[in-house]
Amino acid sequence: MFLMGLGALLVLGGILYMARTAIWRGPLSGRDSSQPPRDTLEPPRRGLGFLGVGTNWPGIVLLAIGAVLLVSAGF
């Protein structure tokens, strides 16, 4: 029972870590104090670099460990 709870917490922690990384990667408006303000809060183009393994590896590791614990606790 303890392994299932720990596995679920690790999976949830991995998901939250990756969501935080994707959301807080940079300013959503894409501007800083040196640029003039634009009419929209959305950047003109946001790359998909925030979905890569390089920035999300801690979350992926947490997910993997949690999944292993959940599977092993189920048997």
Find the mean pLDDT for residues 3-17.
94
Local structure of residue 33 (DSSP, 8 states): T
Does any domain span residue 39? no
- Would 4 be classed as within a structural domain? yes
* Phi, psi of 33, deg, nearest 5: -70, -20
Structural domain count, the chain: 1
Look up residue 59 and give its two tokens.
């979350």
Residue 33: inside a domain, yes or no?
no
Amino acid symbol at 21 = T
Alpha-carbon distance of 71 to 2, in angstroms, equals: 13
Average pLDDT, the chain: 78
Mean pLDDT of 54-69: 91
**Structure confidence at residue 66 (pLDDT):** 95
- Whether residue 16 has pLDDT greater than 90: yes
Stretch 28-33: mean pLDDT: 53
